[in-house]
Structure 1
């Protein structure tokens, strides 16, 4: 199953984001092929203000547990975090059909 992990930074959070970026990226890189895609939300000035990550997990509980272990959440970079099951309907790569 696919899940969208959507986190929004606290206001003026760029310093904390940069401080914990390497740990955040390593956390998601540890998923290997279960990391589908990832990238930051950008503000009007082009600076990161959050993250959207698509992961594969066995169920909602597993996706929630993994997302809430993200250093951006545990270290307080994110003000909010949402994990939603998602169906990639259009332009889905064939590799995700299995």
Structure 2
């Protein structure tokens, strides 16, 4: 089952994002029990440059596993987000696994 994780940065966390980014990216690409990272990237401000949040798509067996994965993200551990949503998601169009 796929899950979309949408997280919005707290104001003033630009430095936290920059410092934590290497650990965040390593976390995404390190084997996590029951979780496969599929895609992700920063959500941007209207200027198209400034990061204001994060969007991740993962595959996990259930919501509890997806929420544990999200809670373990170094960005979350750094208290960078003002809000986080973890929701089941149906990856239809553009999914390489669905032809």
What is the TM-score when the length of structure 1 is the normalising length? Answer: 0.88
**Structure 2: segments with no counterpart, 5+ residues:** none
In the alignment, the residues of structure 2 paired with residue 11 and residue 75 of structure 1 have an alpha-carbon distance, to the nearest angstrom, of: 14
Give matches, 1:9-88, under 5 Å. Answer: 9-31=9-31, 34-45=36-47, 46-88=49-91
Answer whether contact 1:13 1:49 (CA < 8 A) is retained. no
What is the TM-score when the length of structure 2 is the normalising length? Answer: 0.87
Matched positions, count: 95
Answer whether contact 1:7 1:82 (CA < 8 A) is retained. yes
RMSD: 1.6
1:8 aligns with 2:11: no
In the alignment, the residues of structure 1 paired with residue 46 and residue 13 of structure 2 have an alpha-carbon distance, to the nearest angstrom, of: 15
Q: Considering fraction of residues, name the structure with more helix.
A: 1
